[in-house]
């Protein structure tokens, strides 16, 4: 099983979790009410803003993960991130401490202030910015996704992990914006009970991946992981060199 598929599954489940956490924001969005088409576009624009933030976080934490991978510590990072995920379920105080620590920071207070400011502006630009700001708000499930992004071990893989996670959250958040709080208490209770099991499963997959047991799709041998990472890292370096060459050529042409 490709580890990136777990990002999409985690995102889909997180979408249900968002009903309780970010639902009030989604319901109160100043959508363009001109017609159903503009409402749909407004809601999608907001959710694309969130996904862009997740992709940016994937880039930032992917640099850290790829650094560990190049240093030869990827397997240990994968195991460590898997254990971290499982520990947040076994010891909820770990997740609570992380949530409170980031939530009370100066940066987060600034994010909330800007978010409330854009609520008064019903424009596509404001909705996109609101989506980006919402993606920065403290969320235990986002922390789990970031742990997974670090453990992927390549910059491109980390970005893709967070993009898929973000796309997975869109269906529920979109429906919340369009239809309001449609989920029953029974469904919410079921999802909240299911989330810890999914987090543990994802954590175990990362631990197994790091152990390199030679299990097809789940725990491939070290040689296969290293070869894949080398190919991806080389591809990124070639693209970077190509971009730099094009930039230099354009400067020469301008002169």
252 pLDDT exceeds 60? no
Which pLDDT score, from 0 to 100, does residue 1 have?
Answer: 46
**Token duo for residue 228:** 């894949």
Beta carbons of 106 and 27 less than 8 angstroms apart = no
Beta carbons of 63 and 155 less than 8 angstroms apart = yes
Give the C-alpha separation, 107 to 142, whole Å.
17
211 pLDDT exceeds 50? yes
> In sequence order, which residues have a C-beta less than 8 Å from that of residue 127 and are 6 or more positions away?
29, 30, 31, 42, 45, 46, 49, 118
Average pLDDT over residues 145-157: 87
**CA distance readout (Å), 72 to 102, 201, 221:** 30, 25, 14
Q: Extract the runs of DSSP E, i.e. beta strands, from the chain.
A: none
Percent of the chain with pLDDT over 70: 73
231-253 in b/e burial notation, b at 16+ Cβ within 10 A?
A: ebbeeeeeeeeeeeeeeeeeeee
pLDDT tens for 105-140 read 788 888 888 888 888 777 888 889 999 998 898 888
Beta carbons of 61 and 153 less than 8 angstroms apart = no
Q: Where are the domains of the chain?
A: 3-219
Count of CB atoms situated within 10 Å of the CB of 118: 20
pTM of the model: 0.72
Higher-confidence position of 92 and 146: 146
pLDDT tens for 34-66 read 677 788 888 889 999 999 999 999 999 989 888
**3-state secondary structure string, 122-165?**
CCHHHHHHHHHHHCCCCCHHHHHHHHHHHHHCCHHHHHHHHHHH
pLDDT tens for 85-103 read 888 888 877 777 776 767 6
Which pLDDT score, from 0 to 100, does residue 2 have?
Answer: 64
Rounded to 5°, angle at Cα 15 from 9 and 17: 110
Beta carbons of 65 and 152 less than 8 angstroms apart = yes
Most confident of 50-64, 80-94, 169-183, 202-216: 50-64
Of the pLDDT bands very low, low, confident and very high (cuts 50, 70, 90), residue 163 is very high
């Amino acid at each position: 099983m490709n580890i990136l598929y777990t990002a999409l599954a985690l995102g889909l489940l997180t979408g249900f979790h968002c009903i309780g956490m970010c639902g009030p924001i989604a319901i109160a969005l100043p959508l363009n009410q001109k017609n159903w088409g503009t409402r749909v576009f407004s809601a999608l624009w907001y959710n694309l803003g969130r996904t862009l933030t997740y992709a940016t976080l994937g880039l930032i934490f992917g640099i850290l993960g790829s650094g560990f991978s190049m240093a030869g510590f990827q397997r240990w990072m994968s195991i460590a991130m898997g254990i971290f995920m499982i520990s947040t379920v076994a010891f909820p105080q770990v997740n609570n401490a992380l949530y409170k620590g980031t939530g009370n920071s100066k940066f987060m207070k600034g994010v909330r202030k800007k978010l409330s400011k854009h609520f008064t502006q019903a424009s596509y630009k404001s909705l996109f910015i609101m989506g980006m700001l919402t993606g920065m708000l403290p969320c235990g499930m986002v922390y789990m996704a970031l742990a997974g992004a670090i453990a992927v071990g390549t910059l491109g893989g980390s970005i893709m992990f967070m993009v898929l996670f973000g796309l997975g959250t869109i269906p529920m958040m979109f429906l919340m914006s369009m239809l309001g709080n449609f989920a029953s208490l029974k469904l919410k209770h079921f999802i909240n009970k299911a989330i810890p099991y999914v987090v543990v499963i994802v954590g175990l997959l990362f631990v197994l991946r790091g152990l390199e047991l030679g299990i097809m799709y789940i725990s491939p041998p070290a040689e296969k992981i290293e070869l894949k990472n080398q190919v991806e890292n080389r591809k990124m370096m070639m693209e970077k060199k190509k971009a730099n060459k094009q930039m230099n050529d354009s400067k020469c042409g301008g002169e």
